[in-house]
Amino acid sequence: MIIFDMDGVLVDVTESYRETIVRTVQHFTGQTIARSRIQEYKNAGGWNNDWQLSQKIARDLGVEVEYPVVVDYFQKIFFGDGDGGLMQREQWIARPGVLESLAERYAFSIFTGRERAEAQMTLDRFAAGLKFAPVVGADDVQYGKPDPEGMLRIMSEFPGERFYYIGDTVDDARSAKLAGVPFIGIGHGDTGALLLAEGAQALIPSINDLAGALESL
């Protein structure tokens, strides 16, 4: 079974989640951060939750905002006011046929830092013909990544199965390591180097290169 992270793996969230972080921080602090700064936090690990990350960046810029206030503003931007919000800017990364071909040999599941309903909305929009089961989101676990709780939950439903986890952050890599699951990292440059240092057994630039990586393991 292939267990996928979602953001940055299956879906390009540069103009959705990442832009929502930028706008949330700007709203509360009056300062516009570069997206590279967001990646720096992600590379440090421990910031899989974008609501918490938005609050953390605002705090580091000298502004303390209550967590529920951050969440409320973030969600309004992400979902919009009747126009679908920044979520509509998401782009599916896999080329036509790539995942369909893999689905002939592997079952698919998802362990994501999104809430499950948000993940399902994106799957319904871009990949309605593919089966991902189960989909485990942030609201399904007590502890988020890098804790492996969500991955272990998936594994418990398929005893004896061989698993691979595909992710793009150090939290993904650490979660896979704690679960004892081979990890394939998606990344390049400094991020790619960090994923290899965290135990990635293969590093690829895109989900479109996954078949070759799986064959090499």
pLDDT tens column, 70-120: 999 999 999 998 777 999 999 999 999 999 999 999 999 999 999 999 999
Find the mean pLDDT for residues 198-214: 96
For helices 189-197 and 35-44, angle between their N-to-C axes, nearest 10 degrees: 10
Q: What is the rounded CA–CA span in Å between residue 86 and residue 144? A: 24
Burial of 147 by CB count in 10 Å (0-12 exposed, 13-18 middle, 19+ buried)? middle
In this prediction the pTM is: 0.94
The reported pLDDT for the residue numbered 217 is: 86
The Cα angle at residue 150 between residues 148 and 156, in degrees rounded to 5: 95
